[in-house]
Amino acid sequence: MGSTNGLTSIRGKQPLFSFGVISDVQYADIPDGRSFLGVPRYYRHSILVLQRAVKQWNDLNKLRFAINLGDIVDGFCPKDQSLDSVKKMVAEFEKFNGPVYHMIGNHCLYNLPRSKLLPLLKIPSNEGCAYYDFSPSPEYRFVVLDGYDVSAIGWPHDHPKTLQAQQFLQEKNPNTDKNSPNGLDGLERRFLMFNGAVGKEQLEWLAHILQDATRLKQKTVVCCHLPLDPGASTEEALLWNFDEVMEVIHRYDCVKVCLAGHDHKGGHSVDSHGIHHRVFEAALECPPGTDAFGYIDVYDDRLSLVGTDKMQSCEMCFTPTMDNGFGDTAARY
């Protein structure tokens, strides 16, 4: 007799497609260390986490692609090893039997200029910017944002975007060390040099893509190294203009999930429009023998993250859009 249990029938449904996820590998051939706040960081072990991720993804034999949410190498990587280290990590990702979509993080930019990074990571360049979109199935659109479009790191010292970012930080952060949030309150604590913003042209591009996705009835997943919702992240890790980006996203009904890295402990929230925000746990902060990676099964009505070890599994069920009575809900891990 067929099952009448709703849950069983949901579980029995085949995903439209599946993809692998990992974030903040931050590899460097240097001894273990700690974050500014004292969290242990395992720079040499992180490549093993990536290797185990790729093995799992290949063994599953069903993943259509994988996404790296950024920070492939760490800023402490000796600079004469930066190029080789990025190439070494890209080679590990290329052992995956499918395309890998990368995005840049602050640690990538501490190591190499955009002109070198983007070709290595096979990121399509738009005047040096690293935003792009792809559609792995007719039902879905993925948007990858460049959160360091306006940034004090990564562009040449005299580039207009460097100057714009430096002026912005000067206005918003009174500290001499612009990576210090001392004295900043609440959401102001994001105005740090290791973060950045999505610029005007990218915002216009985003609106255009979301309009197109809406026309094509494509559910959309937005990916950015920097988190876009305060419910899923510490204030210090947020995109400078997360509010402007979310204002654009909230104009359309197509975006269902936003994925991010950067805030290493991870988090999950559902915003006032029912959009899920999932920040992934960092591969870098896995003690030897432990892991943080996963894969996502994509359905027409939800994304289901199956995490390994420190990456927590979670169901991201879509809700009816607008006026759904959804209050913000959040869980910081």
Ligand X SMILES: O=P(O)(O)OC[C@H](O)CO
Ligand Y SMILES: Nc1ccn([C@@H]2O[C@H](COP(=O)(O)O)[C@@H](O)[C@H]2O)c(=O)n1
Q: Which of 70, 85, 78 is nearest to 144 (CA)?
A: 70
264 binds, options ligand X, ligand Y, none, Cβ within 5 to 8 A by partner type: ligand X
Cα–Cα distance between 182 and 174 in angstroms, integer?
Answer: 9
* Crossing angle between the packed helical segments 82-93 and 46-60, to the nearest 10 degrees: 20
CB of 192 to ligand Y, least distance (A): 7
CB 295 within 8 A of CB 18: yes
Please return the burial class of 164, using the count of CB atoms within 10 Å of its CB with bins 0-12, 13-18 and 19+.
middle
177 makes contact with ligand Y (CB under 6 A): yes
Region at 145 (left for phi over 0; alpha for psi -120 to 50; beta for the rest): beta
Which two three-digit tokens encode residue 320? 């009816």
180 makes contact with ligand Y (CB under 6 A): yes
Among 126, 162, 179, 272, binds ligand Y (CB under 6 A): 179
What one-letter code names the amino acid at 167? Q
Cα–Cα distance between 38 and 169 in angstroms, integer?
Answer: 25
CB of 127 to ligand X, least distance (A): 25
**Bridge pairing between strands 219-224 and 255-260:** parallel
CB of 278 to ligand X, least distance (A): 16
CB of 220 to ligand Y, least distance (A): 30
61 makes contact with ligand Y (CB under 6 A): no
Binding site for ligand X (CB under 6 A): 24, 71, 106-107, 194, 234, 236-237, 262-264
Q: Which residue has the tokens 């069903």?
A: 62
Which residues ranging from 204 to 263 are in contact with ligand Y (CB under 6 A)? Answer: 236
Collapsed DSSP state (helix, strand, coil) of residue 143: strand
Give whichever of 24 and 149 is closer to ligand X, judged by the CB atom: 24
CB of 234 to ligand X, least distance (A): 5
237 binds, options ligand X, ligand Y, none, Cβ within 5 to 8 A by partner type: ligand X
58 binds, options ligand X, ligand Y, none, Cβ within 5 to 8 A by partner type: none
Q: Tell me, by CB under 6 A, how many residues bind ligand Y.
A: 9
CB of 76 to ligand X, least distance (A): 9
290 binds, options ligand X, ligand Y, none, Cβ within 5 to 8 A by partner type: none
Element (H, E) at 317: strand 314-317
Piece in contact with ligand Y (CB under 6 A), picked from 54-62, 174-182, 206-214, 215-223? 174-182
Give whichever of 45 and 107 is closer to ligand X, judged by the CB atom: 107
Which one-letter DSSP state was computed for residue 27?
A: B
Cα–Cα distance between 47 and 52 in angstroms, integer?
Answer: 9
110 binds, options ligand X, ligand Y, none, Cβ within 5 to 8 A by partner type: none
180 binds, options ligand Y, ligand X, none, Cβ within 5 to 8 A by partner type: ligand Y
CB of 247 to ligand Y, least distance (A): 27
CB of 103 to ligand X, least distance (A): 13
Give whichever of 18 and 106 is closer to ligand Y, judged by the CB atom: 106
Among 35, 51, 137, 313, binds ligand Y (CB under 6 A): 35
Which two three-digit tokens encode residue 315? 């169901």
Residues 6+ apart with CB under 8 A from 108: 70, 71, 72, 73, 86, 117, 121
Q: Which of 201, 190, 200 is nearest to 227 (CA)?
A: 190
Point out which residues bind ligand Y (CB under 6 A). 35-37, 177, 179-181, 194, 236
